[in-house]
Amino acid sequence: MLVSVIIPCRNEEKFIGKCIESVVNQTYPKDKIEVLAIDGMSEDKTREIIKRYSIAKLLDNRKKIFAAACNIGIKNAKGDLLMIIGAHAVYPDNYIEKCVSDSIKLNADNVGGDVKPVVRINNIINNAIVLSFGGWFGKYDTEEKEKKPLGTDTVFGGCYKKDVFERIGLFNENLKRTSDLELNLRLKRSGGKIILIPNLIVYYYPSSNLKDFFLHNIEDGIWNILPLKFTYKPLRFRHYLPLIFILTIPFNIWIYLPIAFYFSAKIAVFKKNIIYFFIMPLVFLAKHIGHGIGSLWGVIKLIA
């Protein structure tokens, strides 16, 4: 079965090589893999790096947004299964093989693995940012447990049946972000099956400093709300929690801060480093305040 691997990218010179290498190293037969790198007219060395790999076909994305890149890839793909992966991540050697087998075995419309953030730069701030992922106040338990595939709302590095896009349409190019969430919401509401394979881990590189992390969360917050301007299908309730948080912050801050310091203390003990007790609250605030401010700005843009 031919699998088309679609890689939307723009200015990813630090990561695109690692991403493509992880595709090259797959256990799935190479003659059954098609790689389409959809570049948003990068201004760094991204395009030059892509051209080093004979397996990758470079296509232009002049609109420079994720949704447009996905649609270009879908229209040019020859595969029976279409896998849309992030350039900011690397994939285990068995990723394609496992996605293909589970797609067939479970008759899934979209199947993918779980995400584990990893540090770019081994310092306290970057480690603290990585530790903040996995829940409102992070996930730092390293114990790995065997888990079975389960139904979900969306997956990272999704492997779609090609006919999904014939049934529900393409990515919404009005959405600068969250177009993948919106598409999977359409898929789910049309009766489609989305499967998460918890023990199939994708390694993702998040922002490495507090400023970029804060700005990234603001942008995410904006695009949790702004899809309502272009579609009548709202995202899940959890996507609106940051807006509720920021609107009620005068009342909840006295509850929030002790909780933040409590989890910071647990992380400091887990990491055996007291500095995390002082750093983690700043990271949590950058995450939650950033998301909340972005969501509020999204509401303003929605009604303006």
Higher pLDDT, 244 or 128: 128
Report pLDDT for 70.
98
Which of 258, 161, 272, 176 is closest to 224 using CA atoms?
176
Please tell me the distance from the alpha carbon of residue 170 to that of residue 206, in angstroms, as a whole number: 27
Question: What pLDDT digit, counting tens, does each position of 139-168 carry?
Answer: 655 455 567 889 998 898 899 999 999 999
Please tell me the distance from the alpha carbon of residue 291 to that of residue 221, in angstroms, as a whole number: 4
If asked whether residues 43 and 14 sit together in one domain, one would say yes
Among 206, 231, 266, the domain boundary falls at: 206
**Average pLDDT of span 25-30:** 97
Residue 144 lies in a domain: yes
Question: What pLDDT digit, counting tens, does each position of 256-296 carry?
Answer: 999 999 999 999 999 999 999 999 999 999 999 999 999 99
If asked whether residues 38 and 160 sit together in one domain, one would say yes
If asked whether residues 92 and 154 sit together in one domain, one would say yes
Residue 104 lies in a domain: yes
Which of 3, 2, 291, 42 is closest to 157 using CA atoms?
3
Please tell me the distance from the alpha carbon of residue 97 to that of residue 102, in angstroms, as a whole number: 9
Those residues whose C-beta lies under 8 Å from the C-beta of residue 262, and which sit 6 or more positions away, are none
Give the type of residue at 35.
Answer: V
Residue 211 lies in a domain: no
Residue 97 lies in a domain: yes
If asked whether residues 273 and 296 sit together in one domain, one would say yes
Question: What pLDDT digit, counting tens, does each position of 32-54 carry?
Answer: 999 999 999 999 999 999 999 99
Output the CA torsion sign for 208, 212, 218, 222. negative
User: What's the Rg (C-alpha) of the chain?
Assistant: 20
pLDDT band at 2 (very low <50, low <70, confident <90, very high): very high
Which of 225, 257, 230 is closest to 241 using CA atoms?
225
Among 176, 206, 236, the domain boundary falls at: 206
Query: Is the pLDDT assigned to residue 16 strictly greater than 80?
Result: yes
Please tell me the distance from the alpha carbon of residue 277 to that of residue 266, in angstroms, as a whole number: 8
- Domain of 29: which CATH number? 3.90.550.10
Report pLDDT for 225.
84
- At 44, list the tokens: 């760094």
Alpha helices in the chain (DSSP H): 16-24, 46-50, 66-76, 95-105, 124-131, 163-168, 179-189, 210-225, 241-247, 249-271, 275-303
Q: Please tell me whether residue 146 adopts helix, strand or coil conformation.
A: coil
pLDDT over 90 percentage in the chain: 75
If asked whether residues 134 and 279 sit together in one domain, one would say no
If asked whether residues 59 and 16 sit together in one domain, one would say yes
Residue 35 lies in a domain: yes
If asked whether residues 176 and 143 sit together in one domain, one would say yes
Residue 213 lies in a domain: no
Those residues whose C-beta lies under 8 Å from the C-beta of residue 219, and which sit 6 or more positions away, are 177, 294
Q: Which domain holds residue 271?
A: 219-303
If asked whether residues 295 and 202 sit together in one domain, one would say no
If asked whether residues 56 and 181 sit together in one domain, one would say yes
Residue 151 lies in a domain: yes
Among 171, 206, 241, the domain boundary falls at: 206
Residue 212 lies in a domain: no
Domain count, the chain: 2
Report pLDDT for 234.
59
If asked whether residues 158 and 278 sit together in one domain, one would say no
If asked whether residues 193 and 51 sit together in one domain, one would say yes
pLDDT averaged over every residue in the chain: 92
Question: What pLDDT digit, counting tens, does each position of 57-115 carry?
Answer: 999 999 999 999 999 999 999 999 999 999 999 999 999 999 999 999 999 999 999 99
If asked whether residues 165 and 228 sit together in one domain, one would say no
